[in-house]
Each structure stands twice: as C-alpha cells, then as structure tokens.
Amino acid sequence: MGLRLSVEIGCGAGELGAWMARRDPGARRIGTTADPADAARAAPHYDAVHVAPPEAGAPVPPGTAELVILHGSMADPAAAIAAAAKLLAPTGMLLADIPNAGHWRLAEQALAEGSTVPDAGRGMGYDALLAAVKAAGLHPLDLHAPMAEEAAATAFAGRIGPLLAALGTTPAAWLRRAGPARFLLRAGRAPAQPLHVVAHVLKPVGGVNDVRIGLPLTALASWPGVAVRMGEAPDTPDLPAEAPRIMILHRRLLNAPEAPRFINHFRRHGWVVVQEFDDDPAHWPVIAGADHFAFRGVHAVQTSTPALESLFHSFNDEVAVFPNTVVDLPELANFADPSRLRLFMGGMRRGPDYAPYLTELNAVLAEAGDRLAVEVIFERETFDALHTPHKRFHPLLPYPAYRALMAGCEIAFMPLADTRFNSFKSDLKFVEAGAHGLACLASPVVYEATIRDGETGMIVRDPAAFGAALRGLLADPARARAMGTAARRWVRENRMLASQTPRRLAWYRSLWERRAALDAALLARAPELERAG
C-alpha cells in the first residue's frame, strides 16, 4: 500500500520498519515501544520513535494514520486495539498480530500443572479478538490463523476428546480456535470492497511479466478484498453478477479470426477487458492487419509511457499510463572498491544499439585494465566483441537474478538507437539501475526525458561522448557514486510501486463502475464483436 502515515505500535528494534522503509520510502513512519533500548535501535528506521506501552497508542493526531500495525507483548490487547483504532484515517487499516490466549499448548500446560496460566501478555481468544475489534468501531477484513505443530495439536485434542464432548464441542471444532498460536487480523473503518483481477500473461521472458504484471498485481493483492489470479492460462472464477471483475490481457495481438469470440466470452461473463501493452505495436504488423483490434476490441488499455498513451488513444478513448516502477530500494551493494568498477550491459536484443559504441568501449577497456570489468547479459556477439579478459557473459536471467547482478555494478550503459521502435520504449533500465545506486550513461532517446544530465546520470549522444563520460567516472569514482545516489533519490521520489498501487486500484474500480458505458463504446468501435455472436 502507498502510505502517507504509518504507525507501528510495538516496533521492537525496528526490523519491520526497515523493511517498510525500503518498499515505501515516501511514507512517514512513527514507531512506539515500551523498551528504551529498543527505541534507540529502531530510531534510524522511523521518523520518530516514542517510548510508550501499546495501550497508549501513539502521539499522532487521531484519524490520520493510513496504517496502524499492532504487535509485540500487550498486557491488555483489547485496550491496545481500541487505542490503535482511534489513530486510523477513514480509509485506514489496522494490522494486528495477537497471540492466541486459547492456544492448545496453554491448555496442555494448565492440565499438566494442575493450574491456570496467567492471561497477562497471553493475547486474546478468537471470539474476544473479534469482539474487541468491533467494539473499537472497526470491521474485520480478514483473519489469518496459521496452525503450526498440526500433528501434535491433533493428538492432544484427541486425548482430551471426552472433556471436549462434555463441553459440547468436537476436537476439530475446538482446534479451529485453539490450533493457531497467533491471529493475524486486518480491520478497517469500512468493510472491504471486493475486486477480482485475472491476468493472462505471456510466457516469462526477461522480467517483462514481473515488471508489468506480476509485481503490480502482487502488490494489488495485498489490499483487503482484492483477489488476483495470473498465468498463461489462468482459471476464470465463476462469480456472482454483481462481483467487480477485471480481465487483463498481456500483449495479446488479437489478430486471429476467433479474437472477437474470445473477447465476447469474457464480456458475456461480465468482465471488463483491459489490454496491457508497452511496446510499439508496429513491431507486429499483424496488429495493423487486424485493424488494431488489439486496442479497439477491448474496454481499456494500460501502458507505460505518455508516447504509447498518445498512440493508443488513436484506437481507444480509455487509456491509462502506469510508468514502470521498482518494489523496493535494496541495501546498496556496490562501490565496495572504488578503484575497480563494473559496467552493466543488460539490454535484451540490444546488439544493434551497442554496436556503434564498441570501438570506443574497447579503447577505454584497454586503458583501464583491471580497473573496469563488464557484465553482459544475453548479447553474445556484443560480449565476444569486447577485447578484455575482465568480462563475464550471462544468459537471459530470471528477474531477481538480473537485479542481483545489476546490484553489484557501479555503472550502467543504456544506449538506444534513434528508431521508431526505441522511441516508444520506457526508462525502466534507468529506474532499476537508479534503485541500486548505479551511475547511468544513456542515450537521449527515451532517457533524456527522465535523466537530469550530469546529476542523476549522463546523456551520451555519440561514441566520443560515451568514452569521455566513462573515462571521467573511472577517474573520479566519487562522482559516479554521487550520481548513483542522486538517481536512487529520484527513484525514491518518483517510481516506487507502493506509491502507484492506489491509483491503479482506483482506475480498475472506476472501470467496473463505468462498465456499461465502456461496453457501449467498445461495441461502437468494434462492430465485429456483435457480428461474432
């Protein structure tokens, strides 16, 4: 979730705060803990940390927090829940991790010792937890209650079966409440709004699915009420007519004769159909051959750049731009030895773009010796053309491995030749490299609109400029590091997935609300849908 104020009650030493800071660095984070030593350790990960018991809530204005996290030891969980609820904004959410006071291990201990187990610090039972949440004026949104030690729990319930029978219950019914050691609950001021999203994606190639579909929809699925399915041929759930639903088609060419029937199948089952496309469609002539049904024949189009938005508006009035983002700002792993730098060349099918620069790059490599190494992904001909022993070739990598390799480099080289196809590309490589603190050398094509030349990266207009820039960074690694730091700051402020997710969710919900008008517009511009029957 993209949050403006989050409060963590029971923040401990700040481990969760550090994780959240990497994923949503634009949010203001307040922590509380009852332990002064923990407060000192947690301080670097929050805007402020206060020493207070969980029952005191946090010193922020009531009704202002988009997220309140409640966990840790609590003497009075019901009071802590009530205090946390007062902090929530109208659209805010409480996330509570509460020990189960009715856990079977506590019953086992009480029976074994012939005494009761004190309640203080033990949490709450299932019914008491739900009652406390409702008493605080909140609606339970979902409750996760994982049961560890299932075999041992089942065996114990069997041993006390006669006692449970005398109490009017069964071992299975009792374990539903006594089995979980903890309850993980989300609650809000209003019930969750349901939304079902199904995505038909391409076969995974080079992280395309991750950036445009997998990661954004995974973030979306973290919102209460949102259910997501995705795959090359995902199951389509059978839903009630009133259930909001969005069908996303990932780069579908929709040029086959049966394409109108394919779209009608989803329309008649109530789905709003969205095409996700983030490249120049002229690269696939069959799209134009089908009179751009790929974009006319859907309710809406989502894409990555303003240039593509303008193009797709020629075929469909409903187009949304979601620029490429990163999920987190990972811990920096480069510049460990500033006297030896690594150059990242990770463009897929970028051989023709690299080619004009290789003579100049080889000259720099010859001068630099072991001070400059090169990491090349996918482009074997480019790799073979580099005249240095300080190079490594990598096949097409899964997205996490690709990012891990990038993270160990200090400079990224991102040339794009001035072609129509390249002009519609996005600045994703800069966003990824900037998140890892790399200094970027990039072409004016695409990147000039994003990179602040000389500050967040360098725009190189020809091989000579590239060579001069690379030599300058080798001679002054501190400048390269400062440039990477500035790029990372820009990504933090502009391209975090957490900040984009609320807008994406709002657009999907608006599509559902406007489905009748969108469907009428669809039939008007794609009459072949009615002819398809």
| pLDDT tens readout for residues 146-175 | 888 889 888 988 999 899 899 899 988 888
CA gap 459, 509 in Å, rounded:
39
Label residues 21-57 b or e (16+ Cβ within 10 Å = b): bbbbbebbbbbbbbbeebbebbbebbeebbebbbbeb
CA gap 96, 226 in Å, rounded:
19
Asked if residue 192 has pLDDT above 70, the reply is yes
Query: Which residue has tokens 């967040």?
Result: 456
Asked if residue 145 has pLDDT above 50, the reply is yes
Tokens linked to 177: 């409440």
CA gap 60, 8 in Å, rounded:
12
pLDDT per position as a tens digit, 238-285: 999 999 999 999 999 999 999 999 999 999 999 999 999 999 999 999
Asked if residue 482 has pLDDT above 90, the reply is yes
* pLDDT at 207 (0 to 100): 62
CA gap 54, 38 in Å, rounded:
14
Asked if residue 43 has pLDDT above 80, the reply is yes
Who's near 529: CB < 8 A, 6+ residues apart? 260, 263, 264, 267, 297, 522, 523
Cross-strand partners of 376: 345, 393
* pLDDT at 1 (0 to 100): 44
* pLDDT at 123 (0 to 100): 84
- CA 467-469-372 angle, 5° bins: 70
- Sign of the four-CA dihedral 456, 459, 463, 465: negative
Yes or no: say if 29 and 11 are a contact pair by the CB < 8 Å rule: no
Q: Which residue has the higher pLDDT, 357 or 179?
A: 357
SS3 465: helix
Most confident of 180-189, 201-210, 452-461: 452-461
Asked if residue 62 has pLDDT above 90, the reply is yes
Asked if residue 2 has pLDDT above 90, the reply is no
Q: Please state the length of the chain.
A: 533
Section 198-209 average pLDDT: 80
Q: pTM for the whole thing?
A: 0.90
Q: Which residue has the higher pLDDT, 532 or 415?
A: 415
Yes or no: say if 124 and 100 are a contact pair by the CB < 8 Å rule: yes
First to last CA, the chain: 41
Cross-strand partners of 228: 197
User: Which CA distances in Å does 340 have to 192, 430, 467, 491?
Assistant: 53, 22, 17, 25
pLDDT per position as a tens digit, 92-110: 999 999 998 888 888 888 7
Query: Which residue has tokens 């053309």?
Result: 385
